[in-house]
Amino acid sequence: MMTNSSERVIIPTIFKHIPQLVAGVSTRHGGKSTQAYQSLNLGLHTDDHPDVVQQNLSLFCHDLGISPQALARSYQVHGDVIWETKEPGYTSGYDAIIAVAPGIFAGVGVADCCPILLADPNKKIAAAIHAGWKGTVAQILSKTVRHMMANHGTKPEDILAYIGPCISEAHFEVGDEVAEQFNPAHKNLHGPKWHVNLKEANADQLRQLGVHQIEIDEACTVGHHADFFSHRKEKGVTGRMLAVIGFSA
């Protein structure tokens, strides 16, 4: 993991050698929001002031070298539906977005759920995935990779993947009804309570499909709360980070 000088953006190391690829995840630093949303809140569906959120988005996109108008985003519903797009815009109902045209950048919002960025440098397509526990159980990441393979001829060995900051196993305590939906390899008992490892659960979905170029960010949104928004830590009143990827025109 590395941040740029503004501290607003984490630039995944795994993508840095790919020409024209733009990818980054925001932190909570360097924005205009105040109080619970301090300071770089990029969540459009929070109670933060919309104009301030737009100012934050402009700052973040400026650091990435892209226009906010080039983003393709969705109101996320913790499902497994994929939006493939050649156009920017904001829609609803999708938790995975595949950008298949240059100059379009897929983006997903997170605040404990797992952001995953995929790139196929040969086909020049990229995807952003929002995987909370429901999306992980629904195999949204696996379905996105399969979509890229079936519809664009992507080869698993060509995919580079970044699994970004999210709630870690140490802090992701769940009930039996959630734990029973996970593979034993991705959950552990910490005392009397189950804890789930979202990063490894999603990394294994990639590995099972033959994707082995994977960078896993060690940051935890709860444990590193000073740098990231956390829905669980802040009891639902918090901002959102944004994970973005796409190929420039």
> DSSP string covering 164-186, please?
--B--TTT-EE-HHHHTTS-GGG
Mean pLDDT of 177-202: 96
In this predicted structure, what is the pLDDT of residue 242? 98
In this predicted structure, what is the pLDDT of residue 6? 65
pLDDT band at residue 204 under the 50/70/90 scheme: very high
- Residue 169's contacts (CB-CB under 8 Å, 6 or more residues apart) are 188, 195, 196, 197, 198, 200
Peptide bond into 39 cis (omega under 30): yes
Q: Is the pTM of this model over 0.75?
A: yes
- Please name the residue that has the structure tokens 């639902």: 236
Q: Domains (ranges, CATH) in the chain?
A: 9-247 (3.60.140.10)
Mean pLDDT of 14-18: 97
Element (H, E) at 152: helix 140-152
Mean pLDDT of 181-210: 97
